[in-house]
Chain A
Amino acid sequence: MREVLVVFRREFAAYFATPVAAVFLIVFLALAAGMTFLVSGFFDRGQADLSGFFFWHPWLFLVLMPAIAMRLWAEERRSGTIEILMTLPVQPWQIVLGKWLAAWAFAALALVLTMPLWITVNVLGSPDNGVILSSYIGSWLMAGAFLALAAAISALTKSQVLAFIGATAVSFLFVMAGFDLVISVVRQWAPGFIVDAVRSMSFFAHFQHITDGVLELPSIVFFVSLIVFCLWLNVRAIEVKKAA
């Protein structure tokens, strides 16, 4: 675990080595606030809850999480530092895990910075704080899944732009998996159980379950297993590239 922590510390610090982190956080907060207040009509609804805030998270993360994760591996490949990293006496999974944890911690920071919203609803009314807490946890888990997916795709290329576009495209499918747009296409050729399987992959539906009320176990299991699977894919991507 020591090695994981060493990688984590370097990667997390790397976010703040340039103004990119500050810009990212400002963009995230501005978009989250803008969507909540302007589009969802936070004040007009007259309800003390944050559903109008969390509703937008899958869509915000769709673009913002690939932006956090795109440099994780692509930048190492472009600059050649991957040769140094991968010839240090540590296991590839330790590096994969450390990098992902750093990105996940950065996402946590972005979420923590939205906490004034939580305070605001408590000042204005008496929201169900249990729902809000579980929504935050669910949002963070979903962010982790987006990041693991984007990190694995980042490992395949030395272009951050390609990593970003690829990750956004794949994430889009995951977000949309529960929508008729995707389901109707699948239904045309696939048997019922595949349609159900695709539907069950929907980030949107799983996140909805969590924000609707309690932290539902199947949805937590879904996000956690997707994270584990993507991290495994990330390790595989590195090994395959090594033999290529």
Chain B
Amino acid sequence: MALVVARDLVKRFGSLTAVDKVSFSVDRGEVVGFLGPNGAGKSTAMRIISGFMEPTSGQAWIDGHDSHTDPIAARRRLGYLPEGAPAYADMTVGAFLEFIAAMHGMSKAKANARLAELVERVDLAEVWNQRIESLSKGFKRRVAIAQALVHDPDALILDEPTDGLDPIQKYEMRDLIRSIASRKAIIISTHILEEVEAVCTRAIIIAKGRLLADATPAELLARAPSNGTLALALATADPQGAIDILSKHPGVGQVDVVQRVNGVTRIAVRTSKSRPSPAEITSLLGRSNIAVTEFYMERATLDDVFRQITGHGAEN
């Protein structure tokens, strides 16, 4: 059995079905990205797996222990960062983490050793004696992460660990997650797609409570709409000739002028799978003495896949 298993989780709030038959499992060494629009049911699913909320039906296990019928054993093996990274605002960072360690049954000596190590890792030494309410958002988030790591759990559930962080803090947070990933099963929820590409080995897409995809980022990218866009910069102020030539190619759809500056025109060429190769394009345009100064293919992104899968269309 995998470290974290969810089977047929259902959660209804009155007439609203927040989580609708969600099943998946996460093994040691995996970092699974929980993706979905706001209100998709990500947090609800995480609350159920952590044992904070009871499902309407279905079961969840942490390392073989049911989160609801065997909650103490399950929680010993789980670190959980709730949405919004809550912490006791009137405590100091040190007192808060010592409290968490004590609640995990760690002896004073063991807790001190572990916290000393953790403080280095999560970089909290300079704020150790400060009250949590006085900390910046980045530090608060790190305190909440540290709280989930105090007992060095095998499974980690992190609800939006990088939400509200600046780019450097986001980078550091991802670094931290990557550094512990090999020994743990980690679930992180996010609506930032680049985060999935940066840290996740697998992505699960949820919308309206239903699991719509469960695959590696590469597999998901392969599902991207096949019509890629070529961006070209041409050394001419009048691109009409080039547009006419390119439009004749069977693999080319619409061609748009993006920008005209100082005798250079940038155009965007929508292409299908039978798109012309770079060499073909330069030779076609070369025949009419149009020089291509820049050339790149816009890569399909998880954004496209995400919009497609969650049914928000590929209209843009």
Contacts and interface: CB of A to CB of B under 8 A. Distances in A.
A10 B100 CA distance: 10
Contacts of B105: 2-3, 89
A90 B73 CA distance: 10
Interface in B46-104: 47, 50-54, 71-73, 75-76, 78, 80, 82-84, 86-91, 95, 99-100, 102-104
B83 A80 contact: yes
Interface in A75-112: 79-81, 83-84, 86-91
A40 to B, nearest CB: 37
B104 A88 contact: yes
Contacts of B189: none
Contacts of A13: 95
Interface of A is mostly: helix
B51 A81 contact: no
Interface in A1-28: 2-3, 6-7, 10, 13-14, 17-18
Contacts of B83: 80, 83
B80 A87 contact: yes
Q: Which of B83, B88, B100, B105 has the most chain A CB atoms inside 10 A of its CB?
A: B88
Q: Which of A14, A87, A90 has the most chain B CB atoms inside 10 A of its CB?
A: A87
A88 B50 CA distance: 10
B47 A83 contact: yes
B99 A6 contact: yes
B147 interface: yes
A14 B132 CA distance: 13
Interface residues of B, number: 31
Given A17-B90, A87-B80, A243 B51 contact: no
Contacts of A243: 53-54
A21 to B, nearest CB: 11
Given A2-B105, A6-B102, A242-B53, A84 B87 contact: yes
Contacts of B131: 17
Nearest to A85: B103
A83 B104 contact: no
A90 B83 CA distance: 21
Nearest to A78: B86
A91 B80 contact: no
Given A87-B52, A242-B53, A81 B72 contact: no
Given A84-B87, A242-B54, A243-B54, A90 B82 contact: no
Q: Which of B76, B80, B90 has the most chain A CB atoms inside 10 A of its CB?
A: B90
Contacts of B72: 89-91
Interface of A: 2-3, 6-7, 10, 13-14, 17-18, 79-81, 83-84, 86-91, 242-243
15 contacts: A3-B105, A6-B102, A6-B103, A14-B88, A17-B90, A17-B91, A79-B86, A80-B82, A80-B84, A81-B86, A81-B88, A83-B52, A86-B52, A89-B72, A90-B103
